[in-house]
Structure 1
């Protein structure tokens, strides 16, 4: 009476039809008490070439209903042939949406939702779980191509972006599967949706596992094509959507019981193929085809006077309307109540199946009416216990330096501790030797302020350790720029004051407090830049992609271009401060050695520029890891801070400790009055002799200007054997009284402690007396040597006495 069209590899479907028919034949109220349903299997072996003549044979044999043809491609052919003979057909496994086009396939209906329903459900399911960035893979055949096409139509409606779309050939090999896995990694997708069959999926998963994209943090889900997959531990974590094939109720329970008791005794052709003890999913859907077919025939027979013979002879086929004649939405079938739309398609709920860690396949949730109802926990790939994030969630994978078990993080802490200890040791050393001439020459209190800047700067190393916070991001943007500005601002002011003392002491000389205050004021422009930066787009913790596929925590403004502009402004201002220091280093290059810091400034700036340029070139290099860049940054900071501390302070302290204080051609004072008088007497004799030898010599005293190295100040002549220095210190009341008395030029030298001479040229000298400097050009080299002897004798005399009054040199 009925033909079943199918193949032996569809044993599940075959058994569903045979077992359900056998069960319903036991019901005497079915159609007619004397009617018996006799199914016949026509095996086409999956060959379209065999299917066509078989379909014609079925039509010519007068068959009235067809269950099949299993695969969508086969059902399409069967429907096109059988519709010409008004033979309806139902399938529980053909899901191609094309079969729902009633104009083309008017005799076809199905008890399984089509792929459009499945892909719509897939789009809804992904959006419901917050997954809007995915990768797709589909097999290159009717099912896969149709499913992906349908899914893409729905994806845009649910704001789903496909990061990577991969097409897989049937019978895909390992190399091609590996390329698909690499594309997924490159696209940074974490949710992979598969439209295809199990054979290709298994190869892809094997390669994806090796590549690292089938594991923790990823989620792989497919459609009903994966139902054929044999679950193993290799696919633990795989999920797929499948229409709910079994209803909870007496009809399904009775079918299951009959299946277990009778499947081998009902003439079942699939019994030799299948060894399962209950129907598979497609067996359930095909059994529902039997339910709807017989319900339709029963109604048709009753409408025709219970004449079952007409039905068997095909005389009632013209009255069959698909799907109206087979739509019984209020009747329970093995798969629940089925409501067919005008195209013969079923709408229904879906089960989400999941392969567990032990390779068991279980239903973990149910999708119904646009919502997911979880039944038991998912097992995710790699054994992850958390739901994977949409695409790559940088906040979960971003790297940062940690305080324990992280070599680089521990190194940062060690460098910080070394720096703090070194700074404290330097501070203590400065306090101990604060009265030493070498320390005093560098201005102790300004030195304390500079050391404090370095001490604070060490804390920037700590901002590199741990996951960034608003506090550490703020500190990172403030500490180094301000400490840099204040440190080099103090260095500039200290040396500018030294320059003023040695070149123009008649003008106002900054006090120590004023020097420190102006040095600190150098940080005002940096503070303004930082304040604007913070007000407009302050750096905040952010997990950014530092190189392709690698994320790290950092402090970043929302606009990277704006941040670059602010950093550039700070860097430009810092460069200006360094240029000012270079200029003052050049201008003070002739200051006495014990005061001069020209070399210190020049070397410090040289090191700063070289290290910063090297560090920037490394940090801007593409492809370098976050940790390498962090290591370069912390070592560069450590080196610069240590170098400045050593060159400006620690080296001098070490000289003090060792007693190797350097004072070029300096003369010490004696507190012994008797010795002092003897020295004075000897020196006077030497001076008198020198006066006679240099009588008539003309000299020029030059005072360097800030932007001119040879600005004449005054002419001094040698007359009457009297040598007079022009006044280079502020006039005091004592000086003024001496001038009024006609004592000539008075040089107040109450406590001369240092005198030495630098030879510029054979006829030019530079004389250093404590904080004063004189440049003198003689007519010839012989005169220069004679005056060297004279000034040396004069200085020797005055350095041996403690004078309370102004000293006149005549």
Structure 2
């Protein structure tokens, strides 16, 4: 009984096994994949190596497929000749049959795009290990396509990252005008802009057309950068290298050529015996670097050993071949996975349901080139390697990880054309025609400008502390601060002229300089305008309109007009940096790009507007040059205006003339002209004023005002020309004299002679010069009998100059005071602004004081009013907005006092 049962069990097992075999045979299938490669085109060497790798991979793929369903794959390898028509014909021929389910190919992006469009019609899955065009990422147009090599949309940014991490700030682009060249060029340019890499020039060429090579090379040579990014294929590069060698931009260690992955087969091409390239061509390849995706993963060594066994004598695999091997594997894996979700018949007949996608082929796995992962567009994500060519060898020298954006790993030293390994700069120092912040010249300029700015600010601080001092009050502290602020802005603008400019710094250069110049110039204009109005006005009834507040508002109105021009300039024709490169130098300038004419118009308007203000200041300073002021302000304003005009004559031509060949010299001229002009203006208008309280305090510390210790003499007598009892007609004496309203003036012995009847006062310095001295009209002289801080002295004023005369004895001084009071207007700043006359009182002679007062005409009375402080408006108060100094007419001048009443009323 047991025997029949065991027999039945063995029979059942055999039937089950037979049924399993029958089912397995029914589900296993043989699939064909079309392989289209340019076996006889320009890429034939890489294509031939790829064919060998694919043939060596068939057993590995079938071993995996057999273990996962018992399937087998075969390859139908065809030549595309590197042309679009043959490549598309290969797809049509494969699509017409029933056994082909997928396509592997091609090398060129243009051919691959055409093939992928044809594959859509036949529902053939397609993979490329070399086509990198970003257009192929569009799954609406290419739903059946994917690739195992990163696209140009990845390669462009990788190249930009490499340039950036090598610390090169500029690059020249030379790219093929086909889809491969333009694709990488576009993505690189976008990434370079984000990384602040300047594309100095972008030159295209038509592949195979040598006529345009020299034009592109000349443009690159003049671009100013020594880093060249080439995007094209090896044959074109070798021909271009010949032109570059003639131009001297290859046989020089300063020039660096970096290529995209299209140059990966450069060594194979240049060493191809059939192409008959020269030793000079091969020498030109030294130092070239190119980027290539990481193609050797953990499985590479095992495969390469098997590859060498099948194809003896091979020293390496050709570029792209491993990516195509991964295409073969991923295609097989995708087909098998699709069978599991459908069936063999659906896949073999390519009768896929609507909505089928390439996602079954985008499953991550460990390939021979490394881990395969894809983005949503079916594009491979991978690290990149920079390969360096030198003496016929290709050496990986840098690695750029895909995930770590700021990492550049050095694998080996890069060797440049000269054989040296030290990294060249993108712009050699001898070519840089602009001053950088870290250069020796930049440090010197910044230090010098910083010192001048600190001196100006320190002076302003000191003036604020000494604001109660008569000298500071008389010069109007608010306008002194405005002048200083303008000078600081003008100097600060120099910092914006340095290094490589940006759009922001270009526009700030214009704003800061012009606004600073306007603040300075309008403050000076306000001061000269007030002086001119006071001395020009026959009636002083409107002097209340010349307050600091009103004048400040007027200056701001003038600045506002300029601000409107600047706003329009910035909005309508903004300034941008422009590289100015010659064969020997590199510099930058700021101009209104694409709107040069409009920018020039705004520039001219600003120059003319400020020139008009400068002319007004010069005119007013000239008109008031003889007006008395304690520190001869009108004269120094005139000096400053003349100096600005001369500096403008030096600098303005550089705004309109081309300075390409002497940009650095022009920059230094501008900088030192500005520093000189600002320093001169500061010394004339601000620094001088600060010296007055400083010297006064120093004198007090040292024991008082320095006086002359020379002995004087006097001799008063009577002229025979006219006898007037009690009134001296001629007086003379030798006394120390110095200019009172001039800093650092010294005492010199003069002979002082009074010619009473003739109406003159002579002042003669005792020298051997032919010209001995000066004669003054007595009616034009005013004097202070008791000048502050100068005992035994009187002060004479003639036009805009004041003289201190020192006497030996009080008696001599009183004698001269009595004599002068008969003929001259008396003023005083030291006696509480009260009229004085005669010895101790300086009283005018009877019957003469009022008459002599009126002989001077209204101008004397007005002048007296101008110099008043308590009872009248003083000159310094009118000009500077504050204190110091009073003047009233000599005793008896009732009409003069009446003429001062309006000024007193409106003070």
TM-score by length of 2: 0.48
Alignment of 1:309-328 (within 5 A): 315=348, 318=351, 323=358, 326-328=361-363
- The answer to whether the aligner puts 1:616 opposite 2:635 as a matched pair is no
CA distance in 2, matches of 1:642, 1:74: 75
Count of matched residue positions in the alignment of Structure 1 and Structure 2: 585
- The answer to whether the aligner puts 1:78 opposite 2:115 as a matched pair is yes
Aligned twin of 1:110:
147
Alignment of 1:751-770 (within 5 A): 754=751, 766-768=760-762
- The answer to whether the aligner puts 1:284 opposite 2:332 as a matched pair is no
Alignment of 1:684-695 (within 5 A): 691=720
Aligned twin of 2:182:
145
CA distance in 2, matches of 1:402, 1:70: 49
Shift in Å, 1:284: 1.0
CA distance in 2, matches of 1:547, 1:27: 57
Larger relative contact order, structure 1 or 2 (CA cutoff 8 Å, min sep 6) = 1
When residues 522 and 211 of structure 1 are mapped into structure 2, their CA distance, relative to the original with a 3 A threshold, is farther
Aligned twin of 1:244:
294
Does the 8 Å CA contact 1:71/1:94 hold for their aligned counterparts? yes
Shift in Å, 1:93: 0.9
Q: Among 447, 452, 467, which residue is 1:468 paired with?
A: 447
Aligned twin of 2:10:
none
Alignment of 1:579-658 (within 5 A): 586=626, 611-622=643-654, 623=658, 625-630=666-671
CA distance in 1, matches of 2:195, 2:734: 90
Alignment of 1:116-195 (within 5 A): 116-119=153-156, 138-148=175-185, 167-170=204-207, 171=209, 173-178=212-217, 180-181=219-220
Does the 8 Å CA contact 2:259/2:290 hold for their aligned counterparts? yes
Shift in Å, 1:80: 4.0
CA distance in 2, matches of 1:145, 1:193: 13
Does the 8 Å CA contact 2:436/2:499 hold for their aligned counterparts? no
When residues 356 and 91 of structure 1 are mapped into structure 2, their CA distance, relative to the original with a 3 A threshold, is closer
Q: Among 516, 525, 531, which residue is 1:563 paired with?
A: 516
3-state SS of paired residue (1:4): strand
When residues 367 and 293 of structure 1 are mapped into structure 2, their CA distance, relative to the original with a 3 A threshold, is same
CA distance in 1, matches of 2:160, 2:293: 15
Alignment of 1:321-720 (within 5 A): 323=358, 326-330=361-365, 332-339=366-373, 345-353=378-386, 355=388, 361-369=395-403, 371-376=405-410, 398=435, 465-468=444-447, 471-475=450-454, 477=456, 518=471, 522=475, 524=477, 527-529=480-482, 532=485, 539=492, 542-544=495-497, 559-569=512-522, 572=525, 586=626, 611-622=643-654, 623=658, 625-630=666-671, 691=720, 718=722
Alignment of 1:713-728 (within 5 A): 718=722, 722-723=723-724
CA distance in 1, matches of 2:227, 2:653: 32
| Structure 1 gaps, min length 5 | 266-275, 410-463, 486-515, 589-596, 644-667, 695-717, 725-742, 778-801
3-state SS of paired residue (2:216): helix
What RMSD in Å do the two structures reach over aligned CA positions? 6.8
1:304-361, CA deviations, whole angstroms, 9 ceiling, x for partnerless residues? Answer: 99x9xx99xx95655797635545423x221223345676x23312314154788854
CA distance in 2, matches of 1:26, 1:401: 60
Aligned twin of 1:443:
none
CA distance in 1, matches of 2:638, 2:647: 14
When residues 338 and 536 of structure 1 are mapped into structure 2, their CA distance, relative to the original with a 3 A threshold, is same
3-state SS of paired residue (1:278): coil
3-state SS of paired residue (1:25): helix
CA distance in 2, matches of 1:261, 1:85: 38
CA distance in 1, matches of 2:330, 2:681: 85
3-state SS of paired residue (2:399): strand
When residues 233 and 11 of structure 1 are mapped into structure 2, their CA distance, relative to the original with a 3 A threshold, is closer
| Structure 2 gaps, min length 5 | 1-31, 271-281, 464-468, 532-617, 660-665, 685-709, 736-749, 766-773, 780-809, 820-907
TM-score by length of 1: 0.53
3-state SS of paired residue (1:89): strand
When residues 215 and 616 of structure 1 are mapped into structure 2, their CA distance, relative to the original with a 3 A threshold, is farther
CA distance in 2, matches of 1:123, 1:241: 11
Shift in Å, 1:157: 9.3
CA distance in 1, matches of 2:516, 2:248: 37
Shift in Å, 1:285: 0.5
Shift in Å, 1:542: 1.8
Does the 8 Å CA contact 1:190/1:388 hold for their aligned counterparts? yes
3-state SS of paired residue (1:143): helix
1:97-131, CA deviations, whole angstroms, 9 ceiling, x for partnerless residues? Answer: 44444554454332223334445666888899999
Does the 8 Å CA contact 1:18/1:39 hold for their aligned counterparts? no
CA distance in 2, matches of 1:477, 1:203: 62
Does the 8 Å CA contact 2:80/2:90 hold for their aligned counterparts? yes
1:559-610, CA deviations, whole angstroms, 9 ceiling, x for partnerless residues? Answer: 333222234246647978988986787589xxxxxxxx99xx99x9988765
Shift in Å, 1:204: 7.5
3-state SS of paired residue (2:292): strand
Aligned twin of 1:7:
38
Choose 138-147 or 148-157, whichever is displaced more: 148-157
